[in-house]
Amino acid sequence: MPEAFQKTGSRRWRPVRWGADVLRAIGRGIAHLPHHLPHHLPHHLPGALVVASLVTIGHLHFHVLDAIDSYAFIGLGNLSAMDVSANATHPEVAVVVIDQRSYEGYYHERSPLDRCQLWADLKFLYELPIPPKLVVIDLDLSPPAKKEEARSTLSRAGCQEPLNQLLENSPRTTRTVLMEPLKLKDEEATKVINNWKERMKAANIDFGEPSLPFRYGLVIKIECDKEKLAAKAVLAYSSRQDGNCLDLPTKNKPKEFLINPRQYITGLRPVSALVLPSQRDLLSEWPGFQRPWELPVVFFGGSYGDDDTYLTPLGIMYGVEVHAAAYMSLVHPANEFSHLLGFAGEVGIGLLFGGFISFCWRRYFAMRFSHRPWKRQISPFFVFVLGGALIGLVLVTTFVSLYLLSTSDYWLSPIPIALGMLIESFFVGAVHEAVEEGHRQRQGLVRWLDKAHKEGSDRFQEIVATELRKHPEPRRTLYQRCSYFIVGEIAQQFKVREFWVALALLVRRVTFFTLLGYALLLIVTHY
């Protein structure tokens, strides 16, 4: 039976019925999903294909969507609050860092770093009962360029040579990779540094280039270059490079590889250099106890100050942590992910967004076109549902994309897809659903008019009058329109005893004018 002839019941329970109708509408939409899916799928599929195609072309050819995806990482990092964990599940790299407390307490906030303290910390690592197989030092250990500079710090002047000898005489089972010294314009300084490098290379010590590339302010990928610090570490640790980009022929080698975000969480174990001095005397007392830094690979670097910090998918990391994660991403490269499967996944995301947006618009117009005032008042609820659920879907699909990224070296693009489908749904989908709802209501009206005509002229006239009341004569003048918007519509609902509808309208009008008045007040007082 049409809405015009349903019993309205007591107005006292109208708010309860409003909520029940909303839940019923949502439940009805979900229950009818298998029936509506074959009907709506052909409508949303072209839009999803177009949006996914544009996103794929933008990614693989023009790279115009990298900024959106890059800053989606920031949101993930903030929402998940992930950091390098001391309780990593399967760590393979110990990241020994000179943190702020170590820098202040043991290194006395000196720059360049106190060579005597560096000698002591590195000696501790090299002389572990089970020495590491690889030590990567993300610090510039080159000697002072001028004798005057060396004499200015007695500790540095006295310990640079012992530090050099420690590096040269490190255990044969331990390979060492040093950071490439910073380039200087002074010819004398450059000559001193080059001589030191040749000395270190003669001791089978490698040097790696430590710079990290930024992409829209983030460090996500790094060049697949054998001269980079992480690549040098991988090559020094093992001559076999099965599966990573370093093993590919030059013509097939990608320019960059992804620093897998998962490695920050599962592959690294951070250790503060602050604990090393206190542990020296305990090694003999507890020979069987495994220390957190006793791993096959050790990265040693600084994590103090803000000079060597980088924004990553999981927040701000120090350079030594990024290099260690890059190393792990080469040792355990993500699996290849078919771009065709990625395209299919993006089409699926597009259909998901398109179908949900279509459902919300369909229920909105069904309520909005109703002759019942209280149904028209709750119709905006579906717009809020659309906004909130769309944000939720973006978060869910983004986390799914992050999981695929951590396992398959491929990042689906839920945010560009969501934006594309939202635009498509606003310009095409909303109009389509409005036309569909209008067509459904018109067909229903025709059927009931035909039935009423068979029941007699009185019944027919009653339905016609009801339909005419749904669309009152429009206000023609500006004054009539403004007065109707401000108080006329509220008064009309009071007149027909629709008190809850009038109250809802009053709340909306008060909210509207409060926001408008406050904004104007701020504008006036600002000047």
Distances (CA, A) of 186 to 141, 146, 176, 441, 468: 18, 10, 28, 84, 91
Beta carbons of 356 and 29 less than 8 angstroms apart: no
Distances (CA, A) of 265 to 1, 198, 268, 275, 322: 60, 37, 7, 22, 12
With 80 as the cut, is the pLDDT of residue 213 above it?
yes
Among 48-52, 332-336, 440-444, the range with the most confident prediction by mean pLDDT is: 440-444
Count of alpha carbons within 13 angstroms of residue 385, beta-carbon side: 18
With 60 as the cut, is the pLDDT of residue 149 above it?
no
Q: Rounded to an integer, what distance in angstroms lies between the CA atom of residue 364 and that of residue 370?
A: 10
Task: Name the H helices within 32-64.
Answer: 33-57
The conformation of residue 429, written as its DSSP 8-state character, comes to I
Q: What is the pLDDT of residue 249?
A: 73
With 60 as the cut, is the pLDDT of residue 76 above it?
no
**Does residue 295 sit in helix, strand or coil?**
coil
More confident residue, 426 or 389: 389
Count of alpha carbons within 13 angstroms of residue 225, beta-carbon side: 13
Q: Looking at 338-478, which runs of residues are DSSP E strands? A: none
H or E, element range at 207 = strand 206-208
**Does residue 412 sit in helix, strand or coil?**
coil
Confidence category of residue 280, pLDDT binned at 50, 70, 90? low
Task: Name the H helices within 95-245.
Answer: 100-105, 115-126, 147-151, 154-168, 187-202, 229-237
Give ∠ CA 300-89-173 in degrees, rounded to 5: 40
Q: What is the pLDDT of residue 338?
A: 62
Residue 351 tokens, joined: 């259909």
Handedness of CA 32, 448, 495, 489 (dihedral sign): positive
Mean pLDDT confidence for 270-274: 86
H or E, element range at 138 = strand 134-138
Q: Which residues contact 287 (CB under 8 A, 6 or more apart)?
A: 129
More confident residue, 469 or 167: 167
More confident residue, 95 or 286: 95
Annotate 61-97 with b (16+ C-beta within 10 A) or e (fewer).
eeeebbeebbebbbebbeeeebebeeebeebbbbbbb
Beta carbons of 424 and 356 less than 8 angstroms apart: no
Residue 281 CB: number of other CB atoms within 10 A? 8
Q: What is the pLDDT of residue 81?
A: 40
Q: Rounded to an integer, what distance in angstroms lies between the CA atom of residue 380 and that of residue 363?
A: 10
Mean pLDDT confidence for 186-204: 91
With 50 as the cut, is the pLDDT of residue 7 above it?
no
Q: pLDDT exceeding 90 applies to what percent of the chain?
A: 19
More confident residue, 474 or 421: 421
Beta carbons of 303 and 199 less than 8 angstroms apart: no
Exposed/middle/buried for 455, CB within 10 Å: 0-12, 13-18, 19+?
A: exposed
Exposed/middle/buried for 47, CB within 10 Å: 0-12, 13-18, 19+?
A: buried
- 99-103, 325-329, 337-341: least confident range: 337-341
- 34-38, 102-106, 386-390, 393-397: least confident range: 34-38
Mean pLDDT confidence for 461-473: 69
Confidence category of residue 301, pLDDT binned at 50, 70, 90? very high
Q: How far is CA 246 from the centre of its chain?
A: 28
Residue 329 CB: number of other CB atoms within 10 A? 25
The conformation of residue 269, written as its DSSP 8-state character, comes to E
Q: What is the pLDDT of residue 70?
A: 60
Pairing of strands 221-223, 93-99: unpaired
Beta carbons of 340 and 135 less than 8 angstroms apart: no
- 221-230, 290-299, 422-431: least confident range: 422-431
Mean pLDDT confidence for 23-49: 60
Q: What is the pLDDT of residue 27?
A: 62
Annotate 373-396 with b (16+ C-beta within 10 A) or e (fewer).
bbbebbbebbeebbeebbeebbee
- 234-243, 296-305, 353-362: least confident range: 234-243
Q: Rounded to an integer, what distance in angstroms lies between the CA atom of residue 43 and that of residue 97?
A: 56
Q: How far is CA 82 from the centre of its chain?
A: 12
Mean pLDDT confidence for 355-359: 81
Confidence category of residue 73, pLDDT binned at 50, 70, 90? low
